[in-house]
Structure 1
Amino acid sequence: MSATDLHRLAYQVKVRDVIQETADAVSLTLDAATGPTASFDYRPGQFLTLRVPCQDGPLTRCYSLSSSPHSDTPPTITVKRVPDGRASNWICDNASPGSVFDVLLPSGGFVPRDWSAPFLLVAGGSGITPIMSILRTALAIHDNPITLAYANRDAASVIFTRELDALARDHPDRLTVTHWLESESGRPTAAALRSWLTAAPRSHAYLCGPAPFMAAARTALEANGLDAAHLHAEVFTSLTTDPFSAAPAPVISESATTATATVELDDETHSITWPDDTVLLDVLLAEGLDAPYVCREGTCGGCAFTLRRGEVHMRENHTLDQHDLARGTRLACQSEPRSDTLDIVFDQ
C-alpha cells in the first residue's frame, strides 16, 4: 500500500434489504457493489467503516457486522438510533434497498481465538451486534456451550428477540439466553450484576455495550472469579478524521534515536528501523508494508498489534483497556519505541 493512498481499501456496498428490528434499530443486508472483492471476507466480531451521506455532510462511523461469515445470510450491519446521532438517525430514516455506501474493508480485533472454551456473551443495547456475529458463528461451526446475557431498557428494546428465542429452542443443550430489563430490574450496577453474570470454569467473556454497563459487568465478573485474561471488550468512539481521504505522507525522522523492530505481518517477518519520535504505522507505510488501520487517531482498534518484547509509548489510547494493555495489545497509529529492540506481531 502506498503511504499516501488509502483508497484501494475503500469500495462500495449496496443495500439489499432493510430489516426493522425494533422501533429504533434496523439491519442492513449488503452486497459488494465495487471494490477489491465480489464478496466480503470478514471474521465474526469485526466491523465495517461507513461513510454516511448525512444532510450536512458525510460522516464516518464504524458499525459491527451482526451476521456470521459461516452462514448463508448476506453480510449485515445492525444500526440503532441514538439521541442526536446524525449518522445513525440518517441510516434509520433514509437507508433503503438500493442505497449505496462507501466502506472500508472489515476490521477489528474483537474476534474469539479459542472457540473450544465456554462463552459468556454479555451485551448491552446495540452492543448485541458483534455478539450476534460471534453467537451465530459458534452455533454454526463449533460446539462450545454459550450463555448470552443481554441488557436493555425494556422488552421493546431487545434486538433480535425472535431469533434469540428460536436459537435457544434449537440449541437447548448449548445455548442459554438471559435478559436484564431496566424497566423490571433497575440499573445494572456491578453489585446487582454479580448474581446475573455467572460463568462456567474456563469461560471466555465477550462484552459489548455502553461503557458504564461494560465497566459494571467487568467488575461483577472479576468479583465472581473470572480470569481477567479471559475478558474481552469491544469499545467504539466516534471518529473525528476521515479515513476515506488519502493518508498524509509519513515524515520519517533522520536524526532521531532509532530502535530495531521485528514485525510479523501477514505471515511474513520484517526487520525495520524505527525512529523514537515516529509512530509504528508511519514507519510500516513508508516501508511499503500493508499494515492494517482505519482511523489513525487511537479510537477504533483497527491497527492493534501484540507487543511480544520491548516497550512502546502510546500518544493516545481511546479503545484499549488495562487488560488489553496487560496482554501486550498496542495501537500502531499511536506507538513510539521506548527500547532498543522490539518484537511485534499483527495477529488479528
Structure 2
Amino acid sequence: MPGSRTVRVVEAVRETADAVSLVLDPGADGLAYRPGQFLTVRIPGGGARCYSLASSPHTGEPPRITVKRVPGGTGSGWICDRVAVGDTLEVLPPAGTFGPTGLDRDLLLVAGGSGITPVVSVAKSALAAGRARVALLYANRDQASVIFRDELRELAEDFPGRFTLTHWLESLQGLPTPELLAPLLAPHADRDAYLCGPVPLMDAAETALRAAGGRTVHRERYFSLSSDVFAGPDPVSAAPDDAWTAQVRLDGAAHTVTGGPTTPLLDALLAAGVDAPYSCREGACAACACRVTAGGAKMARNEVLDATDLAEGYVLACQAVPVGDLIEVTYD
C-alpha cells in the first residue's frame, strides 16, 4: 500500500522472559525518525500493531523495536514466538509526537514496564546529542521484569553527571502512589516530564508532579487498532452538490482534492493518489496532523492534539471533515 515499506530483521534480542527486541535493516534509504516515535507493523491475518522504537536516531545504532508479550495478544505473541532473523516486516513510516522538540532542556522521564521503549530512545538521544540532564524513574514488578537493565546501567556509568536512574520494584516497594512518588519526582518538577506506562502509574506520577508545581507533563498512550490500516482507504464516491474542495500543500507540492459531507480529508487525499502521512487512522497517534490555514474542519475524534495545537489550527486529517466549500491545509 502507499507509504508502507519492508524492513528485514537482522537480530532478535531476548530482553526478558516476555520481551524481545527486533533489530531492523531498513535498506539503503535508511529510516528517518525522531526519539520517542513508533512503527506500525502489519501482522498476519490482516491487522496492525504499533510498537515504539527503542533505538536512538542520534547514536548510530540500527533501528530497533521492543515488544512485550501481552496475554492473548495476537501481535505480541507473533513477534515474540514466530518472528526470526531474516524475516521481513511491512511497516508504515515512523509516527507519533511523544518526545521533546529539542535535546538541551532538562528532562524527567517516568516509565513502567514496556513503557521504557520510547523513553529510553528519548534518554539516549538527549544524552548523546544534547546538553540535557535526564532523570529516569523506571517501575517494574520485580528485578526480572526490568527491560534494558544492562543498557540503562551503562548509561548511568557513561553519563554520571547528567543521567540519574531510579528503579522502582513493586515486589519491594509496593504499588507507586502519588504520596510515595512525590519525594522522588518533586525535585525535578520544573523539568519537561514524559510519562509512558500503565495508566495508574502515569496518573500517580502526574498527580505528584502537579502537586509539586510541575506544568509540562506529556503522556504516551498505548492503543490497539480496530481496523487494518494497511488495507488502504475505502473508495471516495463522486462528490455531491454540497461537496468541499481542499487545497493542500505537502512536501512543497500543491494538491486539490474534493470530498463529500462525511469524507475525512485523509481519505480524499489517499483516493486522489496523494502520499499523505498517516498511521492509526483512528485519531490516536498524530501522524496525520496538518494545519488549517483557511476555512475550517470538524474532527470526529481527537486523543492527541491539545488546546494549544487546536488554537494554532492543527487537525488530524484522518478525523477532519472540512466545513464549508473550501479549505486550505498545509503539512509543510
TM interval, shorter chain, is 0.7 to 0.9
Distance 1:158 1:288, change over 3 A: same
Distance 1:277 1:60, change over 3 A: closer
Provide the secondary structure at the position in 2 that maps to 1:91.
helix
What is the CA-CA distance between 1:144 and the residue it aligns to? Answer: 1.0
Match of 1:23 in 2: 17
Provide the secondary structure at the position in 2 that maps to 1:218.
helix
Choose which of 8, 12, 25 in structure 1 pairs with 2:2: 8
Match of 2:210 in 1: 222
Choose which of 311, 316, 327 in structure 1 pairs with 2:309: 327
Matched, 1:238 2:224: yes
Count of aligned positions: 329
Tell me how far apart the structure 2 counterparts of residues 337 and 59 of structure 1 sit (CA, whole Å).
29
What is the CA-CA distance between 1:237 and the residue it aligns to? Answer: 1.1
Tell me how far apart the structure 1 counterparts of residues 210 and 26 of structure 2 sit (CA, whole Å).
42
CA-to-aligned-CA distance 1:9-53 (integer Å, 9 cap, x gap)? 2222221111111111111101136xxx54212221111111223
**Which amino acid in the other structure matches residue 332 of structure 1?**
A
**TM-score normalized by the length of structure 2:** 0.87
Range 328-337 or range 146-155, more displaced: 328-337
- Taking only aligned residues, the RMSD between alpha carbons, in angstroms, comes to 2.8
Distance 1:215 1:343, change over 3 A: farther
Provide the secondary structure at the position in 2 that maps to 1:51.
strand
Matched, 1:89 2:114: no
Tell me how far apart the structure 1 counterparts of residues 187 and 249 of structure 2 sit (CA, whole Å).
34
Q: Kindly report which structure 2 residues correspond to 1:285-296, keeping only aligned pairs within 5 A, or say none.
A: 285=270, 288-296=273-281
Check conservation: 1:261, 1:272, Cα contact below 8 A.
Answer: yes
CA-to-aligned-CA distance 1:201-230 (integer Å, 9 cap, x gap)? 752111211223223322222222111xx2
Choose which of 100, 105, 108 in structure 1 pairs with 2:96: 108
Match of 2:38 in 1: 47
Q: Kindly report which structure 2 residues correspond to 1:197-346, keeping only aligned pairs within 5 A, or say none.
A: 197-198=185-186, 200=188, 202-227=190-215, 230-251=216-237, 253-256=239-242, 258=244, 265-266=250-251, 277-285=262-270, 288-305=273-290, 312-317=297-302, 319-320=303-304, 324-328=306-310, 330-337=315-322, 345-346=330-331
What is the CA-CA distance between 1:271 and the residue it aligns to? Answer: 7.8
Match of 1:130 in 2: 118
Unaligned runs of 5+ in 1: 1-6
CA-to-aligned-CA distance 1:279-319 (integer Å, 9 cap, x gap)? 222344456543211232223332234567876432123x3
Tell me how far apart the structure 2 counterparts of residues 58 and 278 of structure 1 sit (CA, whole Å).
24
Check conservation: 2:54, 2:120, Cα contact below 8 A.
Answer: yes
What is the CA-CA distance between 1:127 and the residue it aligns to? Answer: 0.8
Distance 1:110 1:152, change over 3 A: same
Tell me how far apart the structure 1 counterparts of residues 146 and 276 of structure 2 sit (CA, whole Å).
37
Tell me how far apart the structure 2 counterparts of residues 275 and 210 of structure 1 sit (CA, whole Å).
40
Tell me how far apart the structure 1 counterparts of residues 23 and 36 of structure 2 sit (CA, whole Å).
16
Unaligned runs of 5+ in 2: none
Match of 1:77 in 2: 65
**TM-score normalized by the length of structure 1:** 0.83
Tell me how far apart the structure 2 counterparts of residues 192 and 111 of structure 1 sit (CA, whole Å).
26
**Which amino acid in the other structure matches residue 267 of structure 2?**
D
